[in-house]
């Protein structure tokens, strides 16, 4: 449901103004999915090459167990990065808005919010570091930059492994080289949170 043209979420306004852009160029809307009674509030800058419906559909592909850790979603024509998470809000540059990047940035919110019983962020715990050290590889060069980036890089592989028939083994015979991290994320976060309907 669309907000009135003069209404904008504070976070979306701040992110827009901080980039020297006009809040009047941002559409704000509330999105309800069938698996949750509460809405997500989203915003889209007019320079975004991604449509409102694409934002809704792509974010909606994530299991609710992941989505529930995100407050708001925004897409702009250009940010300094492909995307980022701040205060459990996730923002994206439209040219990088795809399911892989959406999972990555959303899982930064999961890392910060979902593991209070283990320690938050989970990527800073000894458990996570031990799993990383037991693996012989990382999923991306970016994984070396921080524990949080490693966590977010492992997440799409973990979700793929739980949801695509044949899992990672069907597409990458050496997937166990990052298997300790995948196994830990699956166990700690819960299989039910990694699959739709969880």
Torsional sign, CA 99, 178, 108, 22: negative
- For CATH 3.30.2010, list the domain ranges present in the chain: 10-103
Candidates 1.25.40, 3.30.2010, 3.80.30, 3.90.245; correct CATH number of 10-103? 3.30.2010
Mean pLDDT score, 71-96: 94
Question: Highest mean pLDDT: which of 111-120, 128-137, 163-172?
Answer: 128-137
- Name residues whose C-beta falls within 8 Å of residue 75's C-beta, 6 or more positions apart in sequence: 42, 43, 44, 45, 48, 50, 55, 91, 92, 93, 94, 97
For residue 120, is pLDDT > 90?
no
Residue 198 confidence class, pLDDT cut points 50, 70, 90: low
Q: What is the pLDDT of residue 26?
A: 96
Give the span between the Cα atoms of 28 and 42, in whole angstroms: 6
- What ranges make up the beta strands (E) of 8-158? 26-31, 40-45, 72-76, 83-86, 89-93
Beta bridge partners of 28: 43
State the average pLDDT over residues 116-130.
94
Of the chain, the percentage scoring pLDDT greater than 90 comes to 84
pLDDT the model gives residue 197: 66
pLDDT band at 80 (very low <50, low <70, confident <90, very high): confident
pLDDT at residue 191 is higher than 80:
yes
pLDDT of residue 79: 83
The mean-pLDDT minimum among 5-9, 73-77, 184-188 falls in: 5-9
pLDDT of residue 110: 98
Can you tell me the mean pLDDT for 27-33? 97
81 has pLDDT over 90: no
Per-residue confidence at 119, pLDDT binned at 50, 70, 90? confident
Answer whether 23's CB lies under 8 Å from 16's CB: yes
Of 51-55, 122-126, 129-133, 166-170, give the lowest mean pLDDT range: 166-170
């Amino acid at each position: 449901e669309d907000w009135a043209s003069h209404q904008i979420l504070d976070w979306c306004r701040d992110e827009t103004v901080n980039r020297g852009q006009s809040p009047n160029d941002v559409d704000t809307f509330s999105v309800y999915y069938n698996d949750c009674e509460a809405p997500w509030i989203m915003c889209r800058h007019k320079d975004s090459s991604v449509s409102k419906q694409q934002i809704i559909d792509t974010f909606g592909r994530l299991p609710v167990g992941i989505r529930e850790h995100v407050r708001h979603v925004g897409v702009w024509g250009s940010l300094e990065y492909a995307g980022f998470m701040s205060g459990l809000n996730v923002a994206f540059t439209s040219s990088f808005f795809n399911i892989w990047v959406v999972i990555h940035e959303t899982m930064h919110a999961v890392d910060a919010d979902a593991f209070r019983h283990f320690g938050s962020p989970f990527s800073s715990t000894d458990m996570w570091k031990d799993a990383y050290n037991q693996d012989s590889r990382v999923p991306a060069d970016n994984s070396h930059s921080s524990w949080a980036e490693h966590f977010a890089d492992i997440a799409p592989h973990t979700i793929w492994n739980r949801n695509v028939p044949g899992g990672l083994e069907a597409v990458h015979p050496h997937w166990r080289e990052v298997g300790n991290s995948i196994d830990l994320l699956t166990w700690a976060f819960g299989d039910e949170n990694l699959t739709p309907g969880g």
